[in-house]
Amino acid sequence: MISLILRTATRFLLTLLLLYSVFLLLRGHHEPGGGFVAGLVAAGAFALYAIAYDVKAARRALRADPRALIALGLLVAAGSGAASFLGRKPFLSGQWIAFTLPGPTRFDLGTPLLFDVGVYLTVVGVTLLIILSLTEE
Amino acid sequence: MGITVAVLAGFALSLGAPWIHRVARGSTGWLLAVLPLGLTAYFAGWIGPISAGETATASFPWVPSLGIHFSFYLDGLGLLFALLITGIGALVLVYSGGYLAGHDQLGRFYAFLLMFMGSMLGLVLADNLITLFVFWELTSLSSYLLIGFDHEREASRTAALQALLVTGVGGLALLAGLLLMGQVGGSLELSHLLRQGAVIREHGLYLPILLLVLGGALTKSAQFPFHFWLPNAMEAPTPVSAYLHSATMVKAGIYLLARLSPLLAGTDAWLYSVATAGAVTMLLGAFLAYQSSDLKRMLAHSTVGALGMLTLLLGIGGPPAVSAAMVFLFGHALYKGGLFLVAGAIDHATGVREAERLGGLGASMPITATAAVLAALSMAGLPPLLGFIGKEMVYEAIWGARHAPLLLTGATLVTSILFVAVAGVAGVRPFIRSARDRQRPHEPPISLWIGPVLLSVSGLIVGLVPGTAGEPLISPAVAAVLGGPETARLALWHGMNPTLALSVMALAGGVGIYLARARLAPAASRVVAGVSRWGSERWYSASLDAVNGLARAQTRWLQSGYLRYYLLMIVATMLGSVGYTLASLGGARAPSGWSDLYLYELVVAALILLAAGVAVRSRSRLGAVAALGVVGYGQALIYILFGAPDLAMTQFLVETLMVILFVLVFYHLPRFAPLSGGRARAHDALIALATGGLMATLVLIATAVQLHPAISDYFAEQSLAQAHGRNVVNVILVDFRALDTLGEITVLAVAGIGVYALLKLRSPSGRNK
């Protein structure tokens, strides 16, 4: 069943949902959100795309193989933990760099964010791996 | 510091070896051999300081709180082994380039070989017992990869697995023994423990420690009754056999016995267990070698015999026996490594390994022949080779043993006679007897003969000038094993004494049975075939079959293949074990009151209950799924009411994804049908209600118990201060408990790959399932 309305809406929704997932990922450290939820949102966006079009199109839109995303996610998460070795700290100790922006704002960037990116990628990869391969059956 | 670099260099080069091979092609072996050669030079530079009585250590903290350090210790014993490992390693790398020339996985082979070399160096130089154990296991692992290198042949895989299992089980025993030793001795550092010998020997745990350590050492060195894996490991390419299975790895057990001699030796238990195992293995190995027809198996069995002799000498203990052991170990590594390489060169040139079919190679392979004859003469114990000196010292030591010297001397004499015959068959006859199959091989390339020639010539040089070339190396090793300043004197001429008479007798007897081998060997083979029906290899395969049978039986019992039974099994197991624990801890107390309950909470709860009831009773799939969705969203609502937005958000998304998934697969699902009858449904309902009740009880208990101080307060306090985050849930996930999260996403990934494998990798014929 092809629905023109769903297809047109999905093309905008995919972008919006992906932006929202990045927003969730980035705000997670201070407000509700985080890599896991953001990953689910992103996976949901592509699943919606698969419903509106088909799995092939969803795979094309995703560009990367979900399996590669899983591997990349685990690598990023583990790698963010290994960064603490540079500071001679135990595995997964958070390492932070503080930036001072103009005005009274301070901006902290740390490896936990990178770790969350790893979680995000893994969740997207696993969820889409399961959903897309189930759908292709 | 230098020692650590020396150990790790092999691993580093191992990682790069395949790429180097891609560029260097035919000359990779020569190129890679530069590292072990450099290491040989490095360790040779230590001969002076070590023989002057120095030792060296290097230590890096690893888990300091448990006394585990990444530490190394260089003394005479470690130095002797390190020189053998790096020196022979260099020759074997060069040899591999010629032997496996053109093999498309040669780069990988170099990587395994270098990894093995690094592991072996780490093992003999380790100071900390845990470091030692890690390298010990690494030698087992790399040897597994090397034996099974030709992994498309089943025989290789079986042999590799057998070697891994036998040495692996021994390794576990060793770990237990080492830990006990560390407990008793108060340290895991060998350099400290070596001074604690008396404490350990008089402790009540001495016997368990001894037996566990022997479990590791005897399996690794293929001592009876674990001797069977070594000849089977001959499935490996010949360079591996020469390096691992004659010169280095199988001597790891000997190294361990020697290393721990100052701690464990000198008691009756040590004498009886170690010396008996050694004596039996020595005779058995020599006999099996004599009746073998395959050159490599023959050499492997004789290696088992030689290892037995070393074990026997270490079991007897004392200066003469330990000196003899060190000299014989050195000599054996030189001549047996050489003979293995020669056997490989013959195989390479003629394609034949059957002793009976080989002949007439002397004229066409003169250089290989010279090296082989020199090595064989050393093995037979003829002057002026190192083997002769070693054999003389062995006789002398065993002749002077405190217990049963006559019996042991007799056993050693028989072994020597057999060794003489084996040396003749393996190292001399293929070259001197008249041609059999009209093979017209030519001299192999230099990479194939340089190794045997250098090894044999070393044996000759050390034999000719033992005082200069042998003593600086052997004496510190002997001193290290005996734990005191001791010097070994090596001499070619010991005078007219009983040991010389024994040497002459061994030679005469050996030549005799060498000449009579055509008649004696078949008879001996028949005896072996008869006895091996009850041999220990049978026990090995029987126990392996038993383990596999158990696994199959419990798989048949547990794995029905139906998802509903798996769920039932998991839930019932949890119910039983948690319920039992709860009951045995005194049960639960009812919560103190329900006062702070609001109406809207009750409404949500009632909604969830209602939806759950609908889901169970529904007659259509769509209805059941919708009802389950209501349950899920209701739960999310509860999370919101209790101030957990993160949880609620996740729950909402998971529910949504479930719906999407359901929509996607809806058309492909089979007809919705109740699969269970009334009784089964009642049964399921009972289990479901009990599980729900149990979980509710657990939650009530968990909220009632106040661990003080509560960890949640700590997290809430430290979240912004230490982790720069205001969302405590997220900070816990990505920082405080990040290791747990890492584990969870790994599990998630594994589960995803599992689903993918189930969907994609099943065979087309299985589609009707």
**Domain membership flag for residue B437:** yes
Most B CBs within 10 Å: which of A92, A96, A128, A137, as the mutation test of the B interface? A92
Closest CA to B341 of B216, B455, B227: B455
**Residues B325/B275, Cβ–Cβ less than 8 Å:** no
Residue B464 belongs to a domain: yes
Residue type, B418: L
Residue B754 CB neighbour total at 10 angstroms:
11
CB of B757 within 8 Å of a chain A CB? The answer is no
- pLDDT classification of B768: cutoffs 50, 70, 90: very low
- The answer for residues whose C-beta is within 8 angstroms of residue B204's C-beta and 6 or more apart is none
Task: Report which secondary-structure segment, H or E, holds A110.
Answer: strand A106-110
* Minimum mean pLDDT range among A67-81, B101-115, B141-155, B349-363: B349-363
Task: Name the minimum distance, in Å, from the CA of A28 to any CA of chain B.
Answer: 6
CA distance A2 to chain B (A): 14
| pLDDT, tens digit, 9 for 90 and up, residues B656-694 | 888 888 877 777 787 777 777 788 888 888 999 999 999
Phi, psi of B719, rounded to the nearest 5 degrees: -55, -50
Identify all chain A residues contacting B645, using CB atoms and an 8 Å cutoff.
32
Q: Torsions phi, psi of B181, nearest 5? A: -60, -40
Residue B762's pLDDT band (boundaries 50, 70, 90)?
low
Q: What is the pTM assigned to this prediction? A: 0.76
| Beta-bridge partners for B684 | none
Which of A126, A135, A136, A137 has the highest number of chain B CBs within 10 A, making it the mutation to test binding with B?
A126
Using the beta-carbon criterion (under 8 Å), do A133 and B756 form an inter-chain contact?
yes
Backbone angles phi, psi at B40, to 5 degrees: -60, -45
* A33·B727 Cβ contact <8 A: yes
What's the distance, Cα to Cα, between the start and end of chain A in Å? 18
From the centroid of its chain, how far is CA B259?
19
> d(Cα B500, Cα A133) in Å, to the nearest integer?
79
Take residue B163 and report the two structure tokens written for it.
Answer: 């070697």
At B470, give phi and psi (nearest 5°): -105, -45
Number of compact structural domains in chain B: 1
- Cα-based distances in Å from B652 to A44, B609, B616, B629: 11, 18, 22, 9
> What's the length of chain B?
769
Tell me if B622 is assigned to some domain: no
Which range of residues forms the domain containing residue B319?
272-515
b/e B508-537 (16+ beta carbons within 10 angstroms → b): ebbeebbeebeebbeebeeeeeeeeeeeeb
Cβ count within 10 A of residue B594: 6
Among B residues 644-703, those touching chain A with beta carbons less than 8 Å apart: 645-646, 649-650, 653-654, 656-657, 660-661, 663-665, 668
Mark yes or no for CB contact A129/B753 under 8 Å: yes
Top-confidence residue, B197 or B594: B197
Residues of A in contact with B726 (CB under 8 A): 29-31
Query: Cβ distance B331 to B386 under 8 Å?
Result: yes
Widest CA span in chain A: 58
Report which secondary-structure segment, H or E, holds B74. strand B68-74
**Angstrom distance (rounded) from CA B680 to CA A18:** 46
Residue range B571-630, pLDDT digits in tens? 999 999 998 988 888 766 666 666 677 888 889 999 999 999 998 888 888 888 889 999
Which ipTM did the prediction report?
A: 0.92
Q: Identify the three-state secondary structure at position B615.
A: helix
B734 contacts in A (CB within 8 Å)?
A: 28-29, 34-35, 112-113, 115-116, 119
**Residue the block writes with tokens 């040590």:** B270
For residue B282 the two structure tokens come to 């020595």
Q: Are B96 and B239 in contact (CB under 8 A)?
A: yes
Cα(first)–Cα(last) distance of chain B, in Å? 62
**What distance in Å separates the CA atoms of residue B523 and residue B514, rounded to the nearest whole number?**
14
Please state, in angstroms and rounded to a whole number, the distance separating the CA atoms of residues B220 and B139.
Answer: 10
CA-based nearest residue in chain B for residue A98: B724
Interface of A with B in 103-122 (CB under 8 A): 108, 110, 112-113, 115-116, 118-119, 122
Residue B691: inside a domain:
no
Q: What is the DSSP string of B522-585?
A: HHHHHHHHHHGGGSHHHHHHHHHHHHHHHHHHHHHHH--S-HHHHHHHHHHHHHHHHHHHHHHT
Q: Are residues B389 and B491 in contact, defined by beta-carbon separation less than 8 angstroms?
A: yes
Confidence of residue B769 (pLDDT cuts 50, 70, 90): very low
| Pairwise CA distance, residues B612 & B602, whole Å | 15
Residue A70 near residue B752 (C-beta atoms within 8 A): yes
B203 inside domain? no
Amino acid at B41: A
Residue by residue, DSSP assigns A31-94 as SS--HHHHHHHHHHHHHHHHHHS-HHHHHHHH-S-HHHHHHHHHHHHHHHHHGGGTTT--TT--
Tell me the average pLDDT of chain B: 87
Cis peptide before B225 (omega within 30 of 0): yes
Q: Which of A37-41, B372-376, B490-494, B746-750 has the lowest mean pLDDT?
A: B490-494
Among B234-248, B555-569, B607-621, which range has the highest average pLDDT? B607-621
Q: Would you say residue B293 lies in a domain?
A: yes
pLDDT score of A94:
80
Would you state the structure tokens that stand for residue B145, as one six-digit string? 């990869």
The answer to whether position B263 is within a domain reads no
* Cis bond before residue B709 (omega within 30° of 0): yes
What are the tens digits of pLDDT across the range B66-90? 889 999 999 999 999 999 999 999 9
- The residue ranking higher by pLDDT, A42 or B567, is A42
For residue B384, say if its preceding peptide bond is cis, omega within 30 degrees of 0: yes
DSSP string, B89-109: HHHHHHHHHHHTTT-TTHHHH
Per-residue confidence (pLDDT) for residue B682, from 0 to 100: 87
A39 in B contact zone (CB under 8 Å): no
Query: Which residue of B745, B759, B761 to mutate against A (max A Cβ within 10 Å)?
Result: B745
Where is pLDDT greater, at B242 or B743?
B743
Q: What is the pLDDT of residues B154-167, one digit of tens each?
A: 999 999 999 999 99
Which residues on chain A are in Cβ contact (under 8 Å) with B662?
A: none
Q: Spell out the long-range contacts of B754-757 with Cβ–Cβ below 8 A and sequence spacing 24 or more.
A: B755/A129, B755/A130, B755/A133, B755/A134, B756/A67, B756/A129, B756/A130, B756/A133
Question: Is residue B68 within 8 Å of B62, Cβ to Cβ?
Answer: yes
Q: Are B295 and B231 in contact (CB under 8 A)?
A: no
